[in-house]
A and B are shown apart, each in its own frame.
Chain A
Amino acid sequence: MAPATASAITLTINGEHHTLTVDHRTSLLDALRERLDLTGTKKGCDQGQCGACTVLVDGRRIVSCLQLAVAAEGRAVTTIEGVADGEGLHPVQQAFLDLDGFQCGYCTPGQICSALAVLDEHAAGWPSAATDDIRPEAGPPELTPEEIGERMSGNLCRCGAYVSIVQAVARAAENTTGSAAGGTTKEPAA
């Protein structure tokens, strides 16, 4: 008998369990959009280059187009639908609204999920390619526009709203205390 090319899996998305049978070729992105009606996560390039499909898996941002759904079983997925607290917007969402961090809005769910993780990664002391002194003793760098731009570079905006996106992330950083994405990004052990 040929080995199975589909599996029944349980995905945990925004705290809810969903059981479904997926062809192994199904990306997490397609499972979210086509099977679970969670269409907030957008499909842009479908090859890992644009960031429109960014979601959090176990608190870390990833591109869901290159994540096989079957390989996401057992992990905690957070999509844009799970970011707000009921009707109360997350500070990152509010900052994007207040500062016009978008134009057409198509890349925005990915931008916001990415920004959540950026704040978390920064709080955990992760350096970036824009960080002058990456020694751990130097501590987290200031979140300058250069730092934000570099850390957000995996999210493209065809409208070119980058200036306000950077301002929105900076505002969100000011208005967010502690962990933005739920506190799962840990400081690596020394």
Chain B
Amino acid sequence: MREFSYQRATDVDGAVALLDADPDARYLGGGTNLVDLMRTGVERPGRLVDVRELPLDSIESTDDGGLRIGATVTNSELAAHPQVRRRYPALAQAVLAGASGQLRNMATVGGNLLQRTRCAYFTDTSLPCNKRAPGTGCSAATGEHRNHAILGASAHCVAVHPSDMGVALAAFDAVVSYETAEGSGQVALADFYLPVGDTPHRETALPPGALITAVTLPPAPVAAHSRYRKVRERASYAFAIGSAAAALEVADGVVREVRLAFGAVASRPWRAGTAERVLSGRPPVASVFAEAADAELAAAQVLEQNAYKVPLIRNLVVALLTELAEETTR
């Protein structure tokens, strides 16, 4: 691991000033991904600015009935919070489905959004990877890609974003607030992750040196009827091979409002807007759910080893929405 200097930030302005002055610096949150990547040489910062003690660790209701989640709130605190469990249950379930109790105690909300892909070629510095070393090629496209993207990928990179939390945040129209030396800004999660294209090494719309300060969930009564389900190769403590967050409101026998997002299918949490439009106003029955999933997945581009994800996601959508429909019409 490269040697680095370390500073503990006590206020947001000080933290962003340090990053502004040193392009070689990185923010340190829980460190569950960054420290690991530093050890393997994927990340080589010359300075760490520890942001864990910044006063960004609260979860507060907003005036309009939403929820503002501070960037240094840990995954554990987020999943245990009564308002999250009551008003956005799929978010609590998504967080609880990820990692382990130890890692959830360390990991932060801001860091979760910025974690890197677990593509084995990204983490192996001896092999080509366009995301880690632009222009070297994508080893996964012709190599091991069982858990790689079926949506929104390109010939340059087929890695998936590993976050569970992000899938629920995408379904609930989360907005990311950040601070830079020039001032503060906001970006919708829908625009937070950049299209892969031929620049897979450029992952987010954050300006250089930006510090995520909060994630805000707009008010969404439908989110109270939501659920997250994750498919993985063992019962616990594994990354998803496919996941979905869904929220559903049924009135007068038809879908009044629906939210749907997928995980482990793309370089970002995948909001299934096409499926939502198909569902709107239709009867909440399995055939319609399947039709909606098919409409979203029509854009899927599968690789040799990951075609299974198409029926996996389709079945997940039908099962999840069927359960929610039974609950909401009961």
Residues of A within 8 A of B (CB): 3-5, 7, 23-25, 27, 46-48, 51, 54, 60-63, 66-68, 70-71, 114, 117-118, 121, 124-129, 131, 134-137, 149-155, 188, 190
Contacts and interface: CB of A to CB of B under 8 A. Distances in A.
Nearest to A2: B5
7 nearest A-B pairs in the assembled complex, by CB-CB distance:
A154-B100, A3-B5, A153-B236, A5-B3, A136-B82, A153-B237, A60-B105
B79 A127 contact: yes
Given A63-B102, A71-B52, A48 B96 contact: no
B47 to A, nearest CB: 7
Contacts of B97: 129
Contacts of B79: 126-127
A126 B101 CA distance: 11
A26 to B, nearest CB: 10
Contact of A136 (B31, B38, B86, B235): B86
Interface string B183-208: 00000000000000000000000000
B99 interface: yes
A124 B76 CA distance: 12
Nearest to B58: A189
A188 B36 contact: no
A14 B92 CA distance: 32
A66 B85 contact: no
A103 B4 CA distance: 40
A118 B213 CA distance: 29
A129 B96 contact: yes
A190 B5 contact: no
Contacts of A188: 59, 77, 80-82
B145 to A, nearest CB: 22
Contacts, number: 123
B5 A4 contact: yes
Nearest to B61: A190
Given A129-B93, A153-B236, A154-B100, A71 B105 contact: no
A151 B76 CA distance: 12
Given A71-B28, A149-B236, 12 more contacts: A3-B5, A7-B6, A25-B4, A60-B76, A63-B103, A66-B30, A66-B103, A67-B31, A126-B76, A127-B96, A134-B92, A153-B236
B32 interface: yes
Nearest to A22: B6
A24 B48 contact: yes
Given A4-B5, A23-B3, A154 B82 contact: no
Contacts of A151: 101
Interface in B50-88: 50, 52, 59, 76-77, 79-83, 85-86
B314 interface: no
